Amino acid sequence: MPQIKLCAVSEFGEENVKTFRVGKKDIAVFKVEDTFYAIDRKCTHLKGNLAKGKLVDKTIQCPLHGAIFNLKTGELLKQPGTLAGWFKKAKNTTIYRLLIKDDFLFLEE
């Protein structure tokens, strides 16, 4: 399985999120304690930037309309709480497998 080097683990420091463009994919990588999670950067509802969302435990809340996703599974935990959520529903998001090797973070394709 091909692996794409993203960054050194130490680059996260105090930051808990970084974004990457891998081919045509926009990916957000979140650090929660000592674990890394990678998901699509754009919300499945109206493409809000999840990297700018509210991180709580192992969930991310979209900054646009409040959809909440599980970082480990990609499961949609809460639909958007606005009128926009009534007309267009969010769905589960894509997760990506990560690997740490020699203190570098890799995306497995």
pLDDT of residue 85: 54
pLDDT of residue 15: 79
**Closest to 17 in 3D by CA, of 65, 62, 66, 55:** 55
- Per-residue model confidence as pLDDT tens digits over 27-74: 999 999 999 999 999 999 989 999 999 999 999 999 998 999 999 999
In this structure, are residues 38 and 95 in contact, taking their beta carbons and an 8 Å threshold?
Answer: yes
Architecture of domain 3-108: 3-layer Sandwich (2.102)
Structure-block tokens of residue 5: 């080097």
Structure-block tokens of residue 33: 């304690």
In this structure, are residues 65 and 45 in contact, taking their beta carbons and an 8 Å threshold?
Answer: yes
Looking at every residue in the chain, the average pLDDT score rounds to 92
pLDDT of residue 84: 56
pLDDT of residue 83: 62
77 pLDDT above the threshold of 90: yes
pLDDT of residue 109: 82
